[in-house]
Structure 1
Amino acid sequence: MKQLLYSLLLKLLHLLFTCAELVYGAVQRLMWQFSRVPVTPPLADICANGRQLAKRPEHLGVILVEKDICWQTLADIILWSTAYGIHYVSLYDRSGRVRAGAEQQLRPHLERRRRALFGAVPCTVSLVEGGAEPGPTANGHSGDGGGQYHVSVALLWEPDGVGDMVAAARRLCSEVASGARRADSIDRHMFGEQLRAAAAWPDPALAIKLGPVRALLGYLPWQLRLTEVLDAPPRRPLLYRDFHRLLTAYGGIQQRMGT
């Protein structure tokens, strides 16, 4: 009888500890969930924050060096950039996962997040691959919460970097060999015009790196001379306040440099 009571008592204690662990885990998950996904500010507030920046890039680059892609983070960065008046965003990952998943993964997140942020306010996002020409910029994306917003998004991967430079050099060499171009007429400006991924796009003034790897993994090398690279916090999805801090930090750096 005594042994049976001891056995029942141990089972009861085990049950109580198990329940306590489950409750504690649930509470921790809820606290983490609410702390990492706060409500994004209204569109008018985001636009106002953008106007207060000391300087904002015309072209924002995003470099993915993480194992798993957070599509919500990419969608949010694109739409927040649009509200800030940034007209060009490029997404770079070495293996081309973003390009491959643009329609099935990125598009649905963009549409869902667009409805949540912009509501009935017109906002269009043009996705283009590598060196494709961006679509015409829509009128009225003044960053004041009214009119129409438009952003062109380039989907880049490793061949758009070093591979594009090699292809451009081959084209110029072929033209020189055929007599269509003089060798002494080639300069860095002409070479830049040959780069498909740079066509009609300004160089990215700021690039946000997503992921813990301390490398750029083949990011377009000719653009890095003008690009400030900042690391995003490791949490995913990225919080709006973190995005704003990165843009604020970029503005502060440009002010100190006197540019």
Structure 2
Amino acid sequence: MSSEKIAENARLLAGEDVDVSSNRVPPPEANFMKDPSKLKAFQAVTYSAAANEGQTTRTPKNNAFWNQEMGKIQYFISKTLLVGMYLVFGLFRYLQYECNKMKLRIWNVIYNPSNTPQLIRQDVTKLDKIPRRLAAILEMKSVGSVGGGVKGLMNDGSEVACWTVSAGIKHLILYDFDGILKKNVLEFKEEIKEKLSRYFGPSNVPKFALRIPHKNKVHFSNDDSHKVSLEISLLSNRDGRQTIVDLTKTMAELTKSKELQLQDITMRLMDKELTQLVGPEPDLLLYFGPSLDLQGFPPWHLRLTEFHWEQDNDQVAYSIFIRGLHKYSNCKINVGK
């Protein structure tokens, strides 16, 4: 193959324009156009074809107004249907909200312990079983709202602690996303003491301990005794996925330095380490919000946990607490081998 032919093919592949007029064979139309009489006949035929094409293309324009009106009608019908569906759903949601609020008011009247441990104990003794470990997710409301701010959060946490110790549950996990209770652990300890004295009397305040697993610290209600009736673990988002990431990095570094063998990393080892870093898995998790939101709760500790919340609820109420215990009492947990 000649170099000129190769260059020409290369240009064609590259998409460049190539002058091939000298080698091109003219099509039959080129010779046809040289005869004047034949040229006139050809022009007449092409003009007639163009006229017919223009007529056919102008035909839809006669229906443009009708198509435009149909489009407006379709748009109006679609918009009417969407607005109707929105109104129907809004009315249904409003009725559902009012119904849920009414049920919550009725439950608050039925389950009203009035800061009495004996009434709470009576409600619990009717149950077939109670959880050994209870967890609750708390949210700090805005400062301007009722029960808001840090003080409101500590008040909610102390109420749950009083209900828990009155029900005979030994372990409680309180989770708030930002770790406000951790940062104010001493003030929170005093808040629990004060609330327990209202329930049990100043001379019969149960002993408890506040545990911060992330810092490996424990604060006892009485420094002279480490035997407690209730152990409270304070968790935050730092104890969730970030702890799993930190543990994974630590195991990777130990494996790299030959201090840990790869075959030693098992699910049992992970479970043991996470239990030491965060704590044991709760049996029941309570959420005092309108819809379930785990807010970064440690995922490793929710494998067999039962959840309970009430739709459209926005307060920490005893009725939610006792209904959660009822739900746990009636549930059946199957653990695989």
Greater fraction of residues in strand: 1
The sequence identity of aligned pairs, in percent, is: 21
Q: For 1:65 and 1:241, locate their aligned partners in 2 and report how far apart those are by CA, in whole Å.
A: 18
Q: Provide closer, same or farther for how the CA distance between residues 37 and 101 of structure 1 changes in structure 2, counting only shifts above 3 A.
A: farther
Aligned ranges for residues 86-165 of structure 1 at < 5 Å? Answer: 86-104=169-187, 106-119=188-201, 120-131=203-214, 132=216, 150-165=229-244
Deviations along 1:219-253, one digit per CA (max 9) or x if unpaired, are 000011111111157353x3333321221122112
Aligned residues: 211
Aligned ranges for residues 1-259 of structure 1 at < 5 Å? Answer: 40=114, 42-65=116-139, 67=141, 68=148, 69-104=152-187, 106-119=188-201, 120-131=203-214, 132=216, 150-195=229-274, 198=277, 201-212=279-290, 214-232=292-310, 234-236=313-315, 238-254=316-332, 257=333
- Does the 8 Å CA contact 1:60/1:90 hold for their aligned counterparts? yes
Letter aligned with residue 321 of structure 2: F
- Does the 8 Å CA contact 2:196/2:205 hold for their aligned counterparts? no
Letter aligned with residue 245 of structure 2: V
CA RMSD of aligned residues (A): 3.0
Q: TM-score, normalised by structure 1?
A: 0.70
Gaps of 5+ in 1: 1-33, 137-147
Deviations along 1:136-156, one digit per CA (max 9) or x if unpaired, are 9xxxxxxxxxxx961111111
Residue 181 of structure 1 deviates from its aligned partner by 1.5
Deviations along 1:106-126, one digit per CA (max 9) or x if unpaired, are 333312220111113240121
Counterpart residue number, 1:3? none
Secondary structure, counterpart of 1:152 in structure 2? strand
Q: For 1:117 and 1:170, locate their aligned partners in 2 and report how far apart those are by CA, in whole Å.
A: 46
Gaps of 5+ in 2: 1-107, 142-147, 221-226
Secondary structure, counterpart of 1:123 in structure 2? coil
Q: For 2:155 and 2:217, locate their aligned partners in 1 and report how far apart those are by CA, in whole Å.
A: 25
Q: Provide closer, same or farther for how the CA distance between residues 111 and 195 of structure 1 changes in structure 2, counting only shifts above 3 A.
A: same
Q: Which structure has the larger Rg?
A: 2
Q: Provide closer, same or farther for how the CA distance between residues 182 and 126 of structure 1 changes in structure 2, counting only shifts above 3 A.
A: same
Greater fraction of residues in helix: 2
Residue 52 of structure 1 deviates from its aligned partner by 2.5
Q: For 1:214 and 1:65, locate their aligned partners in 2 and report how far apart those are by CA, in whole Å.
A: 12
Residue 198 of structure 1 deviates from its aligned partner by 4.8
Residue 35 of structure 1 deviates from its aligned partner by 6.6
Q: For 1:216 and 1:197, locate their aligned partners in 2 and report how far apart those are by CA, in whole Å.
A: 22
Residue 215 of structure 1 deviates from its aligned partner by 2.2
Q: Which moved more, 1:47-56 or 1:220-229?
A: 47-56
Letter aligned with residue 327 of structure 2: A
Q: For 1:195 and 1:57, locate their aligned partners in 2 and report how far apart those are by CA, in whole Å.
A: 21
- Does the 8 Å CA contact 1:60/1:205 hold for their aligned counterparts? yes
Residue 194 of structure 1 deviates from its aligned partner by 2.0
Letter aligned with residue 73 of structure 1: D
Q: For 1:47 and 1:135, locate their aligned partners in 2 and report how far apart those are by CA, in whole Å.
A: 27
Runs of 4+ in 1 over 3 A off after TM superposition: 34-39, 65-70, 133-136, 196-199
Higher relative contact order (CA 8 A, sep 6+): 1
Q: For 1:71 and 1:172, locate their aligned partners in 2 and report how far apart those are by CA, in whole Å.
A: 37
Secondary structure, counterpart of 2:191 in structure 1? helix
Q: TM-score, normalised by structure 2?
A: 0.55
Q: Which moved more, 1:94-103 or 1:34-43?
A: 34-43
